[in-house]
C-alpha cells in the first residue's frame, strides 16, 4: 500500500469534519437570513414562558383551597400542565415531563415564528427606505454654456 492511501484515524475525522463544514456552509447559503434565529427568539421565548406561567397562576382555585377542599389540584402550564400538585396524593411526582416537553416545544415554535415575522418586517422596512432614497436622488444635470 502507498502511504497516501493509508489514512490515520485523526485524518479521517478531519476530512469528515471538513465535509460537514462544507455541507453546512452550502445549507446556510440556501436559507434566507430572515429564517435564522437570533436574540429576538430567546427574548420572546422568555416572555412567552413567563406570561403563560403567570396566566396559569391566576387559574389556581384559591377558593377551593381556602375552603378546605382536599380534592383540588393545582396545575401550572398552558396548554399542558407540566407542574401539578395533588393534595390527595402528595407522594406523586409534581413534574409532568411530557407536558413540560410539549409546552416548551410549542413556546419555541411560537417564539421562532415571532422572530421570523419581525425579521421580515425589519428587512421590508430597510428595502422600503432604500427605495425611497433611490427615488429622492436624481442625477445631476449640468448646463453646458456655449460662448
| C-alpha radius of gyration, the chain, whole number | 29
- Report d(CA 132, CA 128) in Å as an integer: 6
User: How sure is the predictor about 1, in pLDDT bands with cuts at 50, 70 and 90?
Assistant: very low
Mean pLDDT across the chain: 84
Q: Which of 43-57, 80-94, 130-144 has the highest mean pLDDT?
A: 43-57
> pLDDT digit string (tens) for 17-46?
889 999 988 888 888 877 888 888 899 999
CB 107, CB 49: distance < 8 Å: yes
Q: Quote the CA–CA distance of 47 and 41 in Å, as a whole number.
A: 10
Q: Tell me the pLDDT tens digit for each residue of 95-130.
A: 889 999 999 999 999 999 999 999 888 888 887 887
For the chain, percent of residues with pLDDT exceeding 90: 21
pLDDT at res. 36: 81
Amino acid at each position: 500500500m502507498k502511504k497516501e492511501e493509508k489514512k490515520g484515524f485523526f485524518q479521517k475525522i478531519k476530512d469528515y469534519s471538513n465535509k460537514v463544514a462544507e455541507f453546512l456552509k452550502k445549507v446556510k447559503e440556501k436559507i434566507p437570513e430572515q429564517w435564522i434565529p437570533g436574540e429576538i427568539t430567546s427574548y420572546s421565548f422568555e416572555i412567552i414562558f413567563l406570561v403563560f406561567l403567570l396566566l396559569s397562576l391566576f387559574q389556581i382555585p384559591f377558593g377551593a383551597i381556602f375552603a378546605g377542599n382536599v380534592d383540588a389540584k393545582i396545575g401550572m402550564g398552558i396548554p399542558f400542565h407540566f407542574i401539578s400538585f395533588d393534595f390527595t396524593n402528595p407522594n406523586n411526582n409534581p413534574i409532568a415531563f411530557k407536558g413540560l416537553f410539549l409546552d416548551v416545544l410549542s413556546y419555541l415554535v411560537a417564539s421562532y415564528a415571532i422572530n421570523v415575522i419581525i425579521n421580515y418586517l425589519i428587512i421590508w422596512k430597510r428595502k422600503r427606505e432604500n427605495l425611497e432614497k433611490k427615488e429622492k436622488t436624481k442625477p445631476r444635470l449640468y448646463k453646458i454654456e456655449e460662448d
